[in-house]
Structure 1
Amino acid sequence: MARANLVKLAVLGVTIAGLAGCSSPPPPKPPAAVPAPVEPKPTPGGSYKVGNPYQIDGVWYYPRVDYSYNETGIASWYGPGFHTKVTANGEAYNENELTAAHQTLPMPSLVRVTNLENGRSIVVRINDRGPFVSGRIIDMSRRGAQLLGFDQQGTAKVRVEVLAEESRAIAAAAMNAASQVAGVSPDGGPVPQAAPRPSVTVESTPLAPPAGTKAAPGSAIPPKVAQATPAPARTIAAPTSLAGTTTDDGRFLPAPVVEQRAVPAKPGKIYIQAGAFASYDNANKLRAKLNSIAPTNLSNAMVNGTQYFRVRVGPFDQVERADQVLAQVLQAGTSEAKIIVD
């Protein structure tokens, strides 16, 4: 009897434990793994792109076609951490090629960049957006900075000039077929056209059967058929006025040719140009507002027959000081202020 009671108690204990186990909540599921971000893949040859207005850190940028672009400012360079990454027009960035990033110029464009401190001048191809540090006009590749001689110091006073005809040529090469057929460049002007190419035909003539034999049924010699070769994807030649090469995917790579240009005996001063007004009163109001930050003056400039009053803060001897004052000017609400060299 005692043995039977022990067996009953053991069975009852197992049953209670089983019920307790059924009533406990299931263990929490492990958190789902967050998929790693997919890196965009470069497009062979990139693509032609101007782009819509965009905002970075509260500053608006307005990309547009401007083949008369000619500005001075402070250049920087980028490379480590971006090499092989996809650029704004879809290419793979190569820090050893002569390329650069610009905030608003079309991609691709060709520009001449001249170091105003040592006179060294090279041609680079715009294929990316940037720089997005206030007070910078262009972001050079590592190789470009080396050739201009400022890779060690990090920045330099430069002039950036668009090469109009050469930029039209490489823009046409990168545009889609519809734009090429229309024969219109992004700014409405004519684009260079490639010389007409004659059509090529291929004639196929099978061998006749050997003498004394008959051709197998259905193997009669077919009539000659002419087949036109497909048209090349890109029909616009690369610029011929510049030294360089064209890659298999259609990108024009400027040659690393450094020109030595004359520079002023005294390097240009650094200013912050806060605005330009046709109205003297409006310019003077802004001058008075910014004068509490740093010495501010007005200067005249004639643009297409119209007189403008430019509001300039400075001059400054050091880029670092100009950066500090530019930050204050931007905080004061003058969102279009920029650093120039004059």
Structure 2
Amino acid sequence: MIRARTLLALPLCAALLVVAGCASRSGGGYYKDDGPGRDIPANILSIPDAVPRVETHAPANFRPYVVFGQRYVPIGENQAYRQTGIASWYGRKFHGQKTANGETYDMYAMTAAHPTLPLPSYARVTRAGTGRSVIVRINDRGPFHSSRVIDLSYVAAAKLGLIGPGSGQVIVEAITNNDILSGRYARTAVAQASPPPPPAAPPPVSAASQLAPAAAPAPRQTALYTAHAGGIYLQFGAFSSQGNAHALAQRVNRESGGLLGTASVVYDSPLYKVRTGPYDTRTEAVNAAYELSQATGLQASIAVD
């Protein structure tokens, strides 16, 4: 496995230290000389997820860097991020070593390595096809390999059922500082910017206007519903403008060809949200999002009210 230990919290002159491991796989899917530890906790699947909190970021952690000729540009602490790809894991070979932000790697803590998410920060990782989801703390850089998007700690991989196969398809969603402050990460993993309040309701129709000649019918719009508690949905966007939300809903319905049913606009003050659902389980919603992404390229996040 190839890992980078980037002490980005140090001054600009700090070097990028690259540890190159053997790239051959072992039977369980992990890399040679790596693997499970000898003192695996008996209750490993009961280890709680990371609890998101707003953390201080050193300015150096946002500076672009280069590994093996590839340039990486870290994203901002409040930038929405969603990525689908292959996750792998790393274990005893790196247990006790320094991570990219100078912490000590603990294979039994809910952490992960990512090339561009802020250090430190938090992300929700959902395994496609199963709906299993965990929250991890990003405190390391990697994987620097085109076929993988995130390296999970041993325990995070165990909770997603990835220890045996060694890797698997996942959806990575950033949990931003705005998400943490608002508590949104508990409901949906993709941040939505806080827009201005929606326009005031139109004035009542007067009797005189009712007697006026009828105007040409307005173009048909997607139905508008009021949000209510309970339910698991796929969410394609959230807007302060009702018109923009209707336009996106029509696009989703057109491009999906009814694959997920009909996308609707839901008013959840102060936002107009474009959604499909509800789904009976998170697994069903994740599978639907994955199927839609593969068939059309449309991207959706999981929203739980």
- Shorter-normalised TM-score: what interval? 0.3 to 0.5
Computing the radius of gyration from Cα coordinates, the structure with the larger value is 1
